[in-house]
Chain A
């Protein structure tokens, strides 16, 4: 694979591994939940700041991270992790959309 043309796939893989490591290192369910909320906030900011045509690669990479994180979560409910991620994402997107955070 050519790195320049397939950077999204590479980034997908890297973030999948990173998500796995991050989730596996969290020692408890509470930390897993707090971390995923923070990552949801970060993800929404990153997507919000991108221009219209460049959002799809970011979504793909984000999904890679999320898959890795969910696989690596040995503590807590995986469904709740997904719900908290979406909640963090929506909250962050809303505050950026409202321009409460620049």
Chain B
């Protein structure tokens, strides 16, 4: 509705992280870094030096992914006249820790938390659905995981097509996979994760997005093949099946 200069000014004035958010982000980064690096504490036998090196790289990667996701939420919310606060989900983080310990690092559950939006009265003037609403919350929620995927994909593409650019291929590969997994887990419809907001905003959009991301991850992990276009097509097919099987019948009145 408003232009670039308006957004720039809003970012300058309102883009902030409060104390609770910073605390939540730091705790999430440390726990997710530990979860990611759990299987990387040595090759044949346990090694502190290898483990700490991998832990540090995992913390760096999880910090990048989480901060990009939350920043995207915040900027998208400011564009629409809202402010966003990140809320850490302690249950999710502890469940993640328990699962990674019990499965010896094979089972990941990366769910740092969700978001809450607040209405900026003056900045919403002129918008249809003036107040806080489910659709706005859903769309703001969607932006975070999408930004994380694009962020991971950008660096992956750099290593593939611009190999002269000095990037650590191993780290970029790891970041790419983690960004996809992070996006997938965050899109699960479990409150307070952002996926629940999208689910309640629009089931059709939810099925399409989760179908697209899941197919992308499956193609990557099972066949080492990645294509945004193919995953969008598969996501569309999944949505179509869902719509014909459930949604169209659900809304048909006698």
Interface residues of A (CB under 8 A from B): 22, 25-27, 31, 34-35, 38-39, 41-42, 45-46, 101-102
Contact = CB atoms under 8 A, between A and B. Distances in A.
Contacts of B102: 22, 25-26, 31, 35
25 contacts: A25-B102, A25-B103, A26-B101, A27-B104, A31-B101, A31-B102, A31-B104, A34-B101, A35-B98, A35-B101, A35-B102, A38-B98, A38-B101, A39-B94, A41-B94, A42-B90, A42-B91, A42-B94, A42-B95, A42-B98, A45-B90, A45-B91, A46-B91, A101-B90, A102-B20
Interface of B: 20, 90-91, 94-95, 97-98, 101-104
A101 B93 CA distance: 14
- How would you classify the secondary structure of chain A's contact residues: helix, strand, loop or mixed? helix
Nearest to A102: B20
A40 B103 CA distance: 19
B90 A22 contact: no
Given A22-B98, A46-B91, 19 more contacts: A22-B102, A26-B101, A26-B102, A27-B104, A31-B101, A31-B102, A31-B104, A34-B101, A35-B101, A38-B94, A38-B97, A38-B98, A38-B101, A39-B94, A42-B90, A45-B90, A45-B91, A101-B90, A102-B20
A14 to B, nearest CB: 15
Contacts of A35: 98, 101-102
A41 to B, nearest CB: 6
Contacts of A27: 104
A61 to B, nearest CB: 14
A13 to B, nearest CB: 20
Contact of B98 (A39, A46, A101, A102): A39
Contacts of A31: 101-102, 104
A24 to B, nearest CB: 9
Contacts of B101: 26, 31, 34-35, 38
Contacts of B94: 38-39, 41-42
Nearest to B24: A102
